[in-house]
Amino acid sequence: MKTLSRRVGCFTDSVIRRMTRISDQYGAINLSQGFPDFDPPQALMDALAKVAYEGPHQYSVTYGAPNLRQALAEKFQRSSGLSVDPETQVLVTCGGTEAMMSTVMAVCDPGDRVLVFSPFYENYGADAILSGAEPIYVPLVPPDYRFDPELIEQGFRQGAKAIILCNPSNPCGKVFSRQELLLIGELAERYDAWVITDEVYEHMVYAPAVHTVMAGLPGMADRTLTCNSLSKTYSITGWRLGYLIGPESAVEAAKKVHDFLTVGAPSPLQEAAVTGLHFEEQYYCELNRIYREKRDYFLAGLDRLGLKHNVPQGTYFVMVDIGDFLALPRFQNMSDLAFCEWMTREIGVAAVPGSSFFREPVNNLIRLHFAREKGTLDEVFRRLGKLSAILKESEFLQLQQQAPKA
């Protein structure tokens, strides 16, 4: 009997991206996989049109076009205060996804352990498994997603070689404070571990929260591998442009993985993206303002509908509590996945079940994103109205039952 890889049998496809397919199947509004429904900046589209005629159309240097690496190094220097060598410390990848995978593969051998916060962006599970590494999970505890540093230390004592840190954090919207990052950094230093960060939402941080670049903290430059992407910052998720910045030895190792995995990110898109990296600070402030406004608009809408949710400090994700629904007879014993499938079909709004992010048995949360035009969000509220009507109706029936009979 022919067999397939046991390793690949250890994880499922991405539920985030599966929900996109289900959403498309039912023509729902897709608030599951996070990507905007609006265009990238005009200057980027113009640059892409120009590249169509002027090239390049052939491979770039495997590690990324030199002008893009240079621009990434400059942007990183502005945010972290670190000066990095674009030749040896920057690697351009196919999306943040490949940056993470190449990095975890470059760091871990089969049998190694890696610390992962839970809830976590689901790719990290597959990244660890494909690298042969065993994840040790550290809970971020709802509602404010705090962690117990003692559990991180325990993980390092068990020999964890690296910690994966998503900041701002997908799916829970936590922004790690400078204090928390210093603490994590101190532990990583004490146990001589790598810190692999995923900072793709760095510009979606809502005051008073601020984004702190881990690598820029004292002593962290030599042990931090910063993974990032242009997808969210320039609204170009389909361009598949990501990058890794870190110390030379680790980036050299990741370059080898990247070389054999994908050879390189699409060169015309790299060329066009350089335009975005040269935007003034004003662009990032405006992006932040737009997303903050969307966040507040979305949360206010959920409040009006009586849907319970967290208040994300960063990212464009919100966790909505469906516990009250699952307590109703019509949803009893339903998994959050089945609820999301039902909601996509019957309500016309797609979300991601929380269980695909949590290590712990969490069944009462679903993740929605708000990277949508206001008009689309209004339509979402209209559709979710049908959902909240179910709750209101059951409350009404309950009250009727409790009311003293005349």
The contact mask relative to ligand GLN for 96-125 (x = CB under 6 A, - = no) is: -x-----------------------x----
The contact mask relative to ligand GLN for 39-78 (x = CB under 6 A, - = no) is: ----------------------------------------
- CA–CA separation, 354 vs 388, rounded Å? 19
- CA–CA separation, 172 vs 144, rounded Å? 9
Least distance in angstroms from the C-beta of 261 to ligand GLN: 15
Pull the structure tokens for residue 46.
């113009």
Q: Give how far Cα 334 sits from Cα of 337, 368, 377, Å.
A: 8, 19, 27
Least distance in angstroms from the C-beta of 239 to ligand GLN: 12
Q: Are 199 and 213 in contact (CB under 8 A)?
A: yes
Q: Residue 370: which of 210, 232, 197 has the closest Cα?
A: 232
Stretch (H or E) spanning 297: helix 281-304
DSSP type of residue 229: E
By CB under 6 A, is residue 34 in contact with ligand GLN? yes
Candidate residues 33, 224, 228, 267; the one interacting with ligand GLN per rule CB under 6 A: 33
By CB under 6 A, is residue 17 in contact with ligand GLN? yes
# binding residues, ligand GLN (CB under 6 A): 7
Least distance in angstroms from the C-beta of 34 to ligand GLN: 3
- CA–CA separation, 222 vs 45, rounded Å? 37
Q: Select 20 or 89, whichever has its Cβ closest to ligand GLN.
A: 20
Q: Select 89 or 355, whichever has its Cβ closest to ligand GLN.
A: 355
By CB under 6 A, is residue 197 in contact with ligand GLN? no
- CA–CA separation, 302 vs 365, rounded Å? 14
Q: Are 195 and 214 in contact (CB under 8 A)?
A: yes
The contact mask relative to ligand GLN for 155-194 (x = CB under 6 A, - = no) is: ---------------x------------------------
List residues near ligand GLN by CB under 6 A: 16-17, 33-34, 97, 121, 170
